[in-house]
């Protein structure tokens, strides 16, 4: 019986190891690939044709950020017309050329080390004809391998330890023990590649340490992956130009088409473009905020002036919807902060107020010194928060329950909150008396 | 700090020092100087861009503790150091160079050996890359003002903007009297210019202004410092501060610009082809120890690693030691940058 | 109005130009800074739309030269980067305003209008229809001696009618032009705005007729 139990323990540990390892492998590989692909894309963007032939302006930030994820080694190669132009001319080519639409990814051994390569195929105009441009970007995957291996190994060790500890108990105990673990393992195995939520599966108290440990690994993996956001930012702006063309063409077509069915589709297309652009912006803002918060690059600045300028910038967009913006600022409000962070925070607050205001609405912005703080208050008569507790709304990708008809990524309030915290300030948002929302952003006065 | 020229002449007497401007022995790369220290059976080969005089105090102290060592120290330019390791695969046990980008390329391309964990664990993140590359000194890149650089009553510029204003306001005074690196010739000059272009918009304007004033371009910091000290030049931009004599000597003034001051990291690695990698790493460990760093700072006058310096002086920016440096090394990117530089400098 | 569009992406330039022409504006396209300078040498423009990254240089250099030559033409920058630092940068270098790609044309128009209003430019903007005088920049409508203020949407709605007098405009068409695609619009929203506009037209011969089942028409000019 003991042997059987041991065998079972071993099998389950192996199963658990495989499930966790597979999940972690897939999740991290997908994320790392997305980043590598975007980096290769931004590299391809920098290859141009000028009078003297091909020019390349490699973006150092792309290399830095790619490397920052795990101190990886990086190799690249640029081919035009099938001949290497710059970079590592012996970097292995893909077996099948990628299509123009999507980068292809493959593993290879280069300079005695395993690398993951993203290949991108574009075409470039030289002397009036189109020539194929192939960009390869390779990185080592020590960071990814280490994360996945660590997670898997610890899961295996823990699984084994728990089962060995369980052996002294009777078979009866063992039986009631095994089924929840089975379910737990199944729950882990069933997860999608990107699902990195903590495990909330009901588990008997004996299994709590295991679940806690597993959750802490997941949290750590998630932390590492969140660094990719820094990098996604770099890539985000590259989708904007094609998005603009698409949006314009759709709008043109909409003007010229008389068929209501087509028109409805075109409207959907425009909405989708707006939504993508907005999400990209907010991701970018968020990454900027995370990055700059860490840099702590503060300088003396006048919050009052920044608020005045910002409100002026918003007026045309608000006026389009017949929304008035009333500004109440007196004197100066000297603070020590990062103007970029403050701008990102206030822009998101005012943007929210304008976005959720009804036509003919009024958004009020006040900046004043109160009790040693420079305080900016933004009030609207919009649809309010629908009773959702503000702490929840400030979390990433969380949106109110009553806003599904207005595009947004749900990152806005997170950006504000993180910016305020980084600079020693505070942010609160709540319902306004008589309907609407009142948001207060404060920084310490100098 | 100390006078560079005096220190360089003192060491001519001891050891076996000879100049080998052409290919020395079987080597395919050009060396500038070499010297053997000690007579022990354990041989350590060190290849470096740093002059022998600067390293002498550290090497002497190391040999007192390790009498069994013979340390063979070779000096070469940063390009030649790179060529020796990357192309000739010369079997050195330790390579120290001020060319961060070339060192990074060696490490990235798999030609460096992992350093012992004990050695890397104490190093801050900005001063190392993986376990392959580690900084041994941090040296600010400064504005050097000659004795008569400033018109009477004018304060020294504290930012690049102020420097631009100063040069613009006194074109006759500064015409032909501004010194800076020629990035087309100097690896360090190129690295500084590329970093400048990345960090500041003001840089291109500064280049235009310097071009209008017929700035003189130099291969090396020593040449700029010499000409400024002797009054042929008034002002040097992007001079490696560690080579300049102190503020008192010759009335020279070192200015760390407050908008930002680049900080060069002199870095070390152990090549894959090392014959005695453990011995090389051991000497490196001594160089990084408290005692070794004190000798580097006081004995040689090269600024030791000091993480607190960045807290105390927020304008100091260490040049980031990561593969971002590879981008600037790309030949086409470099050519394009140099074209832009020439266009800014030489106006129609 | 006459626009100079400086944008190196040919597809994008073509679609922006097509869209502006559709609204009756004249557009010259330049793919490089050199071409832009050449255009400015031979023609006068009401407004310049400038992309920041061009093959032969940075939009910032263009702005610097533009300001140095003290040319008065306002510039709106179209930026693909939306990082906050870049936005602040664009204004610091002397642009009058910026839009982030992809942009809403209604917003672009609103910003053009705001810029021209600030600069007091756009010399001849008054338009007349029958006994009406319409000033889109000042957002006023004068019936005889009496001036009436219009809100932003009323201005745009009236412009739509004025661009096609005596023609029937469908509700859907008006909706698409008046509201952002991302904002929820109720079925009777257009009726509300037409109602308001009718009040502002009171006392004039001009009127907006409802054509049952088809839409609205401006008539009486």
Sign of CA dihedral C54, C56, C61, C65: negative
The total of other beta-carbon atoms located within 10 Å of residue B77's CB is 19
Candidates A242, A260, A321, A341, partner chain C, best to mutate (most C CBs within 10 A): A321
CA nearest to A143 within chain B: B130
Q: What is the SS3 assignment for C26?
A: strand
**CA B140 from centroid of its chain's CA atoms:** 9
Q: How many angstroms separate the Cα of B154 from the Cα of each of A3, A307, B143, B212? A: 90, 37, 16, 22
pLDDT value, residue A406: 55
Tell me what the pLDDT averaged over chain A comes to.
77
Distance between C132 CA and the closest CA of chain A, angstroms:
23
Q: Which of B42, B49, B77 is nearest to B63 (CA)?
A: B42
Q: Which of A233, A246, A437, A250 is nearest to A355 (CA)?
A: A437
pLDDT value, residue B248: 55
The total of other beta-carbon atoms located within 10 Å of residue C122's CB is 17
Q: What is the SS3 assignment for B239?
A: strand
Candidates B197, B330, B331, partner chain A, best to mutate (most A CBs within 10 A): B330
Q: Which of A80, A32, A90 is nearest to A56 (CA)?
A: A80
Could you give the domains of chain C? 2-119 (3.40.50.2300), 127-219 (1.10.10.10)
Cα separation, B222 vs B53, in Å, equals 15
pLDDT value, residue B11: 35
pTM greater than 0.90:
no
Return the exposure string of B86-110: e unless at least 16 CB atoms fall within 10 Å of the residue's CB, then b.
Answer: eeeebbbbbbbbbbbbbbbbbbbbb
Helices (H) and strands (E) in chain A, counts: 12, 14
Is residue C112 packed enough to be buried (19+ CB in 10 Å), middle (13-18) or exposed (0-12)?
buried
Q: How many angstroms separate the Cα of B25 from the Cα of each of B21, B76, B96? A: 11, 15, 22
Q: Which of B46, B83, B329 is nearest to B187 (CA)?
A: B329
Cα separation, C94 vs A206, in Å, equals 67
**CA C62 from centroid of its chain's CA atoms:** 23
Interface check for C83 against chain A (CB to CB < 8 A): the answer is: yes
CB B275 within 8 A of CB B93: yes
Cβ contact B336–A55 (<8 Å): yes
Indicate if the pLDDT at residue A223 is higher than 70.
no
CA nearest to A286 within chain C: C83
CA nearest to B330 within chain A: A87
B51-55 long-range contacts (CB < 8 A, ≥24 apart) are B51/B8, B51/B75, B52/B11, B52/B17, B53/B7, B53/B8, B53/B10, B53/B11, B53/B300, B54/B7, B54/B300, B54/B301, B54/B302, B55/B300
Who has greater pLDDT, B192 or C20? B192
Helices (H) and strands (E) in chain B, counts: 15, 13
Enter the tokens of residue B338: 């140099």
Is residue A410 packed enough to be buried (19+ CB in 10 Å), middle (13-18) or exposed (0-12)?
middle
Cβ contact A319–C55 (<8 Å): no
Interface check for A376 against chain B (CB to CB < 8 A): the answer is: no
> Which A-chain residues 331-360 have CB contacts (< 8 A) with chain C?
339-340, 343-344, 347, 359-360
Cα separation, A179 vs A172, in Å, equals 12
Within chain C, residue ranges assigned H as helices are 10-22, 33-42, 59-68, 84-92, 105-119, 152-163, 171-178, 189-200
Within A227-338, residue ranges assigned H as helices are 228-236, 240-256, 260-295, 303-320
Q: Is-same-fold flag (B4-139+265-319; B140-262+326-345)?
A: yes
Cα separation, B214 vs B345, in Å, equals 8
Who has greater pLDDT, B297 or A2? B297
DSSP state of B219: S
Interface check for A387 against chain B (CB to CB < 8 A): the answer is: no
Q: What is the SS3 assignment for B336?
A: helix
The total of other beta-carbon atoms located within 10 Å of residue A265's CB is 15
pLDDT band at A328 (very low <50, low <70, confident <90, very high): very high
The model's pLDDT over A234-264, given as tens digits with 9 standing for 90+, comes to: 455 566 777 788 888 888 888 777 787 888 8
Pairing assessment for the beta strands A426-431 and A362-370 based on DSSP bridges: unpaired
For residues A51-77, give the mean pLDDT.
79
For residues A83-97, give the mean pLDDT.
89
Indicate if the pLDDT at residue A57 is higher than 70.
yes
Q: Which of B151, B154, B252, B237 is nearest to B202 (CA)?
A: B237
Indicate if the pLDDT at residue A103 is higher than 60.
yes
Candidates B115, B124, B332, partner chain A, best to mutate (most A CBs within 10 A): B332
Options 3.100.10.20, 3.40.50.970, 3.30.450.20, 3.40.190.10; which CATH number does B4-139+265-319 get?
A: 3.40.190.10
Who has greater pLDDT, C46 or B135? B135
Class of domain B140-262+326-345: alpha beta
Size of interface A-C (CB pairs under 8 A): 121
Distance between C168 CA and the closest CA of chain A, angstroms:
13
Q: Which of A13-27, A339-353, C4-18, C195-209 has the least mean pLDDT?
A: A13-27
Enter the tokens of residue A149: 């291996």
pLDDT value, residue C124: 57
ipTM of the complex as predicted: 0.77
Cα separation, B289 vs B279, in Å, equals 15
Q: Give every CB contact of residue B149 below 8 A, 6+ residues apart in sequence.
A: B234, B235, B253
The model's pLDDT over A127-152, given as tens digits with 9 standing for 90+, comes to: 878 888 999 999 888 777 776 677 66
Indicate if the pLDDT at residue A440 is higher than 90.
yes
pLDDT value, residue B5: 37
Cβ contact A64–B110 (<8 Å): no
For residues C177-198, give the mean pLDDT.
81
End-to-end CA distance of chain A: 73
The model's pLDDT over A14-43, given as tens digits with 9 standing for 90+, comes to: 776 777 777 777 777 777 788 888 888 888
Q: Which of A342, A356, A317, A337 is nearest to A438 (CA)?
A: A356
pLDDT value, residue B96: 95
CB B326 within 8 A of CB A62: no
Domain ranges, ordered by start, for chain B: 4-139+265-319, 140-262+326-345
CB A356 within 8 A of CB A383: yes
Q: Which of A358, A303, A356, A363 is nearest to A334 (CA)?
A: A303
Enter the tokens of residue C1: 């109005």
For residues A329-346, give the mean pLDDT.
89
The model's pLDDT over B39-82, given as tens digits with 9 standing for 90+, comes to: 999 999 999 998 888 899 999 999 999 999 999 999 998 889 99
Cβ contact C15–A248 (<8 Å): yes
């Amino acid at each position: 019986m003991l042997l059987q139990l041991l065998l079972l323990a071993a099998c389950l540990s192996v199963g658990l190891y495989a499930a966790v390892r597979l999940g972690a492998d897939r999740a991290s590989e997908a994320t790392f690939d997305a980043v590598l692909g975007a980096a290769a894309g931004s590299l391809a963007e920098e290859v141009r044709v000028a009078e003297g032939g091909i020019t390349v302006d490699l973006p150092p930030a792309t290399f830095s950020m790619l490397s920052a994820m795990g101190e990886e080694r990086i190799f690249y190669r640029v081919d035009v017309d099938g001949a290497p132009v710059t970079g590592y001319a012996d970097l292995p080519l893909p077996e099948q050329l990628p299509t123009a639409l999507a980068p292809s990814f493959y593993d290879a051994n280069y300079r005695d080390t395993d690398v993951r390569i993203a290949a991108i195929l574009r075409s470039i105009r030289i002397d009036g004809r189109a020539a194929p441009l192939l960009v390869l970007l390779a990185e080592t995957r020590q960071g990814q391998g280490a994360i996945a291996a660590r997670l898997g190994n610890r899961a295996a060790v823990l699984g084994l330890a728990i089962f060995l500890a369980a052996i002294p108990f009777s078979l009866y105990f063992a039986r009631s023990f095994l089924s929840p673990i089975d379910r737990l393992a199944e729950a882990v195995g069933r997860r999608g590649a990107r699902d990195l939520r903590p495990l909330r599966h009901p588990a008997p108290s004996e299994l709590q340490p295991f679940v806690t440990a597993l959750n802490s690994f997941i949290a750590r993996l998630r932390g590492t992956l969140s660094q990719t956001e820094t990098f996604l930012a770099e890539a985000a702006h590259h989708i904007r130009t094609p998005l603009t063309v698409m949006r314009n063409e759709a709008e043109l077509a909409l003007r010229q088409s008389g068929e209501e069915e087509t028109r409805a589709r075109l409207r959907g297309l425009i909405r989708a473009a707006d939504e993508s652009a907005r999400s990209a912006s907010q991701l970018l803002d968020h990454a900027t905020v995370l990055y700059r918060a860490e840099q702590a690059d503060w300088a003396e600045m006048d919050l009052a002036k920044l608020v005045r300028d910002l409100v002026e910038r918003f007026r045309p967009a608000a006026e389009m919807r017949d929304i008035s913006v009333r500004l109440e600022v007196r004197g100066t409000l000297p603070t020590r902060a990062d103007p970029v962070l403050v701008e990102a925070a206030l822009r998101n607050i005012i943007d929210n107020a304008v976005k959720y205001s009804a036509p003919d609405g009024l958004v009020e912005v006040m900046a004043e010194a109160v009790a040693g703080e420079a305080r900016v208050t933004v009030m609207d008569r919009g649809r309010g928060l629908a009773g959702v507790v503000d702490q929840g709304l400030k979390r990433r990708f969380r949106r109110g329950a009553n806003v599904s008809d207005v595009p947004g990524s749900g990152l806005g309030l997170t950006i504000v909150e993180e910016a305020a915290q980084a600079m020693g300030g505070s942010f609160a948002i709540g319902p306004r008396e008589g309907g609407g929302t009142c948001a207060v952003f404060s920084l310490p006065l100098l | 700090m100390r006078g560079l020229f005096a220190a360089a002449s003192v060491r001519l007497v001891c050891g076996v020092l000879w100049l080998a401007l052409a290919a020395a022995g079987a080597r395919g790369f050009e060396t500038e100087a070499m010297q053997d220290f000690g007579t022990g059976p354990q041989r350590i080969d060190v290849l470096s861009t740093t002059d022998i005089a600067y390293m002498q105090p550290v090497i002497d102290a190391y040999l007192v503790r390790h009498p069994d060592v013979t340390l063979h120290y070779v000096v070469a330019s940063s390009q030649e150091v790179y060529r020796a390791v990357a192309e000739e695969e010369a079997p050195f046990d330790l390579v120290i160079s001020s060319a961060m980008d070339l060192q990074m390329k060696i490490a990235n391309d798999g030609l460096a050996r992992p350093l012992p964990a004990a050695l890397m664990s104490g190093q801050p993140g900005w001063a190392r890359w993986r376990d392959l590359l580690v900084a041994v000194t941090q040296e600010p890149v400064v504005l050097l003002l000659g004795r008569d650089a400033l018109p009477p009553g004018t304060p020294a510029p504290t930012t690049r903007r102020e420097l631009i204003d100063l040069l613009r306001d006194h074109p006759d005074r500064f015409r032909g009297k501004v010194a800076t690196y020629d990035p087309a010739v100097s690896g360090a000059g190129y690295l500084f210019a590329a970093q400048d272009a990345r960090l500041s918009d003001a840089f291109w304007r500064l280049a235009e202004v310097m071009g209008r004033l017929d700035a003189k371009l130099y291969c090396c910091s020593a040449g700029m410092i010499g000409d400024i000290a002797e009054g042929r030049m008034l002002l040097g931009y992007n001079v490696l501060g560690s080579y300049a004599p102190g503020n008192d000597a010759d009335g020279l003034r070192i200015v760390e610009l407050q908008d930002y001051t680049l900080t060069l990291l002199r870095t070390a690695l152990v090549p894959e082809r090392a014959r005695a990698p453990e011995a090389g790493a051991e000497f490196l460990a001594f160089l990084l120890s408290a005692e070794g760093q004190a000798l580097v700072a006081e004995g040689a006058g090269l600024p030791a690693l000091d993480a607190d310096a960045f807290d105390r002086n927020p304008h100091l920016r260490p040049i980031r030691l990561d593969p971002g440096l590879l981008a600037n090394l790309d030949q086409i990117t470099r050519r394009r940058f140099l074209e832009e530089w020439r266009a800014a400098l030489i106006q129609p | 109005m006459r626009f100079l569009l400086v944008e190196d992406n040919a597809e994008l330039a073509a679609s922006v130009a097509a869209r502006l022409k559709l609204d009756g504006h004249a557009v010259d396209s330049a793919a490089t800074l050199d071409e832009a300078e050449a255009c400015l040498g031979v023609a006068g423009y009401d407004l310049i739309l400038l992309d920041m990254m061009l093959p032969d240089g940075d939009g910032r250099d263009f702005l610097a030269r533009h300001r140095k030559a003290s040319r008065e033409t306002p510039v709106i920058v179209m930026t693909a980067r939306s990082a906050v630092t870049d936005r602040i940068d664009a204004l610091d270098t002397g642009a009058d305003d910026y839009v982030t790609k992809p942009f809403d044309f209604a917003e672009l128009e609103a910003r053009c209008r705001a810029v021209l209003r600030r600069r007091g430019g756009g010399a001849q903007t008054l338009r007349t229809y029958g006994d009406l005088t319409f000033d889109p920049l000042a957002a006023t409508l004068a019936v005889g001696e009496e001036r009436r203020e219009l809100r932003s949407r009323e201005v745009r709605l009236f412009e739509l009618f004025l661009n096609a007098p005596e023609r029937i405009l469908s509700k859907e068409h008006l909706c698409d032009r008046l509201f952002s695609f991302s904002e929820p619009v109720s079925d009777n929203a257009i009726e509300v705005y037409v109602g308001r506009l009718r009040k502002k037209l009171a006392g004039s011969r001009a009127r907006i007729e409802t054509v049952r089942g088809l839409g609205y028409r401006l008539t009486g000019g």
